[in-house]
Structure 1
Amino acid sequence: MAEKPNIILIITDQQRYDSIAALGFPYAVTPNLDALVEKGVAFSNCHITAPSCVPSRASLFTGYYPHTSGVLANGQKWQRTWVEQLRSAGYRCVNIGKMHTIPYNADSGFHERYVVENKDRYMEGRWYFDEWDKALAANGLVKQQRETYRERDDYRDRLGCFDWELPEDLHADAFVGNMAKWWVNTYPLSEPLFLQVGFPGPHPPFDPPARFSEPYLKRNDLPLPSPTKEELDSLHQELKDKRQHDVEVDHDSVVWSLDPTPDQMQRLWAHYLGNVTLIDEKVGELLEALKARGYLEDAIVIFTSDHGECLGEHGLIQKWSMYDAVTRVPTVIWSTANRFEGGRSIDGLCQLFDLGPTILEYAGITPQESFEARSLKPALEGRGWTPRTHVFCEQIGDVAMAGGVEFMTGVRSDRWKLVHFKGSDDGQLFDLENDPKEVNNLWNDPACAEQKRELLDVMRDWLIESNFKTRDVMMDAR
C-alpha cells in the first residue's frame, strides 16, 4: 500500500440522493455509479451546509460552515482551499470541470485547472471564456443558452428541459468527462494524484442528448411529485414568494409553473435523469482510464454532489430551500486497495464538508484543529466514529430568495428538522419519522412546542460553539 494514495474526487452539481439505482431509486439507469456503491461505502445521511453552489463548495473546500468562511451566497468571492496543503505535501493537484471558485480561474491550490463553469451563465461572469467555450468556438459553434432558448415559442412551457442538439461530445458533461480522460491518458504517473472532476450537470438547463432522456420519457412508473393544495397553502411565505419568483425570472433557463401538467413533470424528470445517466457513462469511462493507467492500484475514489434539487416536490424547482431533496446528497467512498471494507452503508448523520479532513488524513496530513468539519476516516475504518447528533444548513438572501427573508438556518436530527427564517415569526418543523416527505409543517402545533424549543436551543448553542471554536481563525476564503 502506498504511503499516499491517489485521491479522485468527483462532484456533480445539483444531484439528488435519490437519482442512483443502487441508493434505492430503481428508475435510474446508473450502472457505473451502482458499481461504485457496491464496492464502496455509501453515507446515506450526508447533508450539505448550504443549499446553493458557491457557499456549499466554499464550505467543503475550507472545512468551515458558511458563516465562518464568510461565503453565504452565490457570486461571493472565494478561492483559498485545503488543496494547498495537498500540493505542499507532494500531490499533483488537478481540477477539471466545475469548482465554482470566484474568480472562476483562481489557483485554489491546484497545479492545473481546466475550468468549465455553469452550463448557462448569463449575468455574473457571463463573458468568462472557459475550456468548454473554447472548444465550442474552435468548432465554429455557439453554445445553446438562455438567449436562444428564449426565442422558442414553447420556452415558457419547457420548465428548463431541452435536447442537446450540438455534437454529443461537446455537451458540458461529456466534455468534462472526456477532458478528464485526456488528462489521465497523457500525464505520466510520477507522483500521488489529487484529481477533482466537477461535472456541471444535472444542474439546469436540463439538456442531455435525446438518447439519454427518451427512455425515461417512455416510462409510466416514474414517481412524479404531485403536491396537494393543502401543502402548497401551508408553505412558508418565503417559499410561496419563491414559487412566484421562479415563474417570473428564468434562472438557468428554467421558467417554472405554479401548476405543471403531468406531461411537463414527466419531461422534467426524464431530462434530469437522462443527464444523470450521461454523467454515469462518463464516470465509468474515467474510472476505466484511471485503471488502465495505474492510478487505481491504490486510490480513494469519492463521488458526491454540492446539493440536490426539488424537481417539483413541494411545488418548488431548483434549490434555495432546506428540504431533504436539496440538503441530502449522494456520497460514496471507495478504497481500491482495501484500506477499509466496502459494500456497505453508513446511516449516521454527517455533512458534505466532512470529506475535507477525510481526504487530508488519507493523504497523511493532520487537519487544522479549528476545522468545523470532522473526518469520516474513523467511520470508514470502523473505529470510534460518532455520527453527528445534528446537521446544519444556512443561506443568506440569494437571487431566488424573493421574499423579505434575509437568512435561513436549518437544523436536522435523525427524527426532527427545523428551519428558521430570519425576521419571520413563522418557520418549518417536520417529524421525519412520521412525515419523511416533509409535508406536514408542525411549527404552530402546540403538541410539538417542546421539540421546536429544543431545536432552536441546539441552533443557538451551535452558533455559540462555532464562534468560540473559530475565535482565533481569521477565516477569509476570499
Structure 2
Amino acid sequence: MAAAKSVDLAGENGRPPLANKPNIILIMTDQQRYDSIAALGFPYAITPNLDRLVEKGVAFTNCHITAPSCVPSRASLFTGYYPHTTGVLANGQRWQHTWVEQLRDAGYRCVNVGKMHTIPYDSDSGFHERYVVENKDRYMEGRWYFDEWDKALAANGLVKQQRETYRERDDYGDRLGCFDWELPEQLHSDAFVGNMAKWWVNTYPATEPLFLQVGFPGPHPPFDPPARYSEPFLKRNDLPLPKPTKEELETLHQELKDKRQHDVEVDHDSVVWSLDPTPDQMHRLWAHYLGNVTLIDEKIGELLEALEERGYLEDAIVIFTSDHGECLGEHGLIQKWSMYDIVTRVPTIIWSTAGRFEGGRSVEGLCQLFDLGPTILEYAGLTPPSTFEARSLKSALEGDDWKPRTHVFCEQIGDVAMAGGVEFMTAVRDERWKLVHFKGSNDGQLFDLQSDPKEVNNLWSNSAYADRKRDLLDVMRDWLIESNFKTRDLTVASR
C-alpha cells in the first residue's frame, strides 16, 4: 500500500484514523478556462472525469491567478508570493526554488511529470525526480533543450509538429493555431504526459508519502488534439462562440488594440490571429480547444484509476487547476496577457479521498491560485512560512471560520505580446468590481461585474464612477505598500 505512516489518533465523526501525511496529487493544465468543465456549468464540454472530481470534491468557483502568463503565475504558485515579490513578472524570467523543498525535507517523495515552467527547465526545485515536458511549441527560448517528449519522439524517428513545419502549410495563416495531431496518438504531448505519470505510478515501489505534480502542456496552443477529439465539437452547431461587437472592439484599451494587431503579425505558439475571424474559423478554434480538454480529461481519469489501484488514493488530497485561462476570441483577443476573468479565473477543485473534508460542494468566496501552496503544506503537517502572501484554504475546506479575500490582484510586466506603450498591467478585483491600471497610459479599465459580467462596458472615463475608481486605486496602492512591508526582510529564493 502506498500510504503514509499512520499516527495513533482516534477517528473523528465516526471516520477511521487518518495518516498524518496524506498523499498529495496536484494536476495542472496550461491555459484552461474556468468555463471548460461540464460540471462547472459548461454543458458543451466532454469532461466526465473532471465532473466526478467536482462531484466528490470542493470547487473554488472564484479562484484567480496572480499573473496572466505561464512563468510568473507558476513562480507565484510554487513560492507563495506575488510576482512583484518574486521578481518573476514575465515569461522567460529565472526561478527555481519552491515550497516543494519543504515537502521533500519532511519525508515526501516529490515527483514532477510534465510542465512546471521553471527557468532553467530542469531545475530540481525540490523534487526527487523530474520528467520535464515543456511547451508544445517551444520555439527560440530554450530551443536546444530537449525534454522527455523530444527524446521520445526522437527515439521513434519523429520530429514534433511545431511552428517551422506548420508555417509550410498553405492555410497556415487561416488556421488560428488549430491543427490535427497526425503523429502517433500516444506521442501527443498531453497523452505522453498522462501516460508517463501513469507509468511512474505503476512502477515506483513507494514507501513514503507522495507529492506528485502532473503538468499537462495543453490546452495551450497550438490547438492540436488528434482529430477524434475535436470532431464531436465540429459536428455541433450550438457552441456559444464569441461575437464581440464593433463598439466593444473600438472601445478596447489601446494596449489591447495593439495586442490584437501584434497577434496577427507575430505567430506566438503557431497562432496567426485574425482581426475578423469567420464563424467557421471560430467554430474550429473552439472545437480544437474543447477537444484538447477532452483528451486531458481522459488521461486524468486513467491516472486516477492507476493511483487507486496502487493504493495512493486510500488517503490523498487531489487538486486540479490551471495556471491561467484563454480568451478564445472573446473581446476580439486570443491567448492571455489581459485581465479579463476568462484569463484570470481558473478551475480549482480539491478532493479528499479519505473524507478529511466534505465534498460535493462549491466555495464562492474570492481566493487566489497561489493559496494552494500553504494549503498543501498544512495538509502535509507543515507550517507555511510566516512571510507567505498566499493564504491557506484549509479552513474553507473543513468548514471552519474562513474569511475569503476581499480583493484579488493580478500583475504582468511587458511580455512578448504586450506590444504597445504599456510597461506594466495591474488588476484589482472584489466580488463586484474590477479595475485594471496600465502603467504608461492615462486610460484604464473599470467594470461592474454585477451588471456587466462579460466585461464589455468600460466605466473608467465615466464621471459617475470616479469615486469607485479612486477607491480601487487606493486598494491597489495599499496592497503594494503592505506587500513590500511584509516581505521587507525577505530574500526570495526564486531569484
Residue 389 (structure 1) aligned to one of 406, 423, 428: 406
**Contact 1:83/1:93 (<8 A) preserved:** yes
* Residue 168 of structure 1, aligned match among 185, 188, 193: 185
Equivalent residue in structure 2 for 1:427, among 444, 464, 467: 444
Deviation at 1:304, TM superposition (A): 0.1
In structure 2, what is the equivalent of residue 57 of structure 1? 74
User: CA–CA distance in 1 between the matches of 2:377 and 2:159?
Assistant: 41
* DSSP 3-state at the match of 1:368: coil
Deviation at 1:246, TM superposition (A): 0.1
Q: Which amino acid aligns with 2:374?
A: P
1:189, CA displacement in angstroms? Answer: 2.3
Range moving further from structure 2, 122-131 or 255-264: 122-131
**1:281 — aligned with what?**
298
SS, match of residue 393 in structure 1: strand
Matches within 5 A, 1:219-368: 219-368=236-385
Tell me the SS of whatever aligns to 1:95. strand
> What residue is the counterpart of 1:134 in the other structure?
151
Report if the CA contact (8 A) 2:98-2:493 is conserved.
no
The correspondence of residues 109-258 of structure 1 with structure 2, limited to 5 A, is 109-258=126-275
Aligned residue for 2:50?
33
Structure 2 alignment gaps of length 5 or more: 1-17
CA drift of 1:384 comes to: 1.5
CA distance, structure 1, for counterparts of residue 273 and residue 430 of structure 2:
31
Q: Distance in 2 between matches of 1:248 and 1:354?
A: 37
1:203-251 CA-to-partner distances (Å, cap 9, x unmatched) read: 0000000000000001111000000000000000000000000000000
Amino acid at match of 1:65: Y
Q: Residues 62-81 of structure 1: matches in 2 within 5 Å?
A: 62-81=79-98
SS in 2 for 1:384: coil
AA partner of residue 400 (structure 1)? A
Structure 1, gaps ≥5 residues long: none
What's the TM-score once normalised by structure 2's chain length?
0.96
* Distance across 1 between alignment mates of 2:206 and 2:413: 43
Structure 2: distance between partners of 1:384 and 1:128: 47
Letter in 2 for 1:39: K
TM-superposed CA distance for 1:476, in Å, is 3.6
Letter of the 2:293 partner, please give it: V
**1:127 CA displacement:** 1.4
Aligned counterparts of 1:451 and 1:275: Cα–Cα separation in 2: 40
Q: Which amino acid aligns with 1:124?
A: E
For 1:37 and 1:282, how far apart are their aligned partners in 2?
16
SS of 1:35 mapped into structure 2 = helix
The C-alpha deviation readout for 1:341-367, integer Å capped at 9, x for no partner, is: 000000000000000000000000000
1:104-130 Cα shifts (integer Å, max 9, x gaps): 000100000000000000011111100
How many residue pairs end up in the alignment? Answer: 478
Name the residue aligned to 1:453. Answer: 470
Q: Distance in 1 between matches of 2:386 and 2:207?
A: 32
Contact 1:189–1:295 under 8 Å retained in 2: no
**Distance in 1 between the 2:20 and 2:369 partners?**
25
Q: Secondary structure at the match of 1:355?
A: helix
Q: Identity of counterpart residues, as a percentage?
A: 88
- 1:20-44 CA deviation, whole Å, 9 max, x = no partner? 0000000000000000000000000
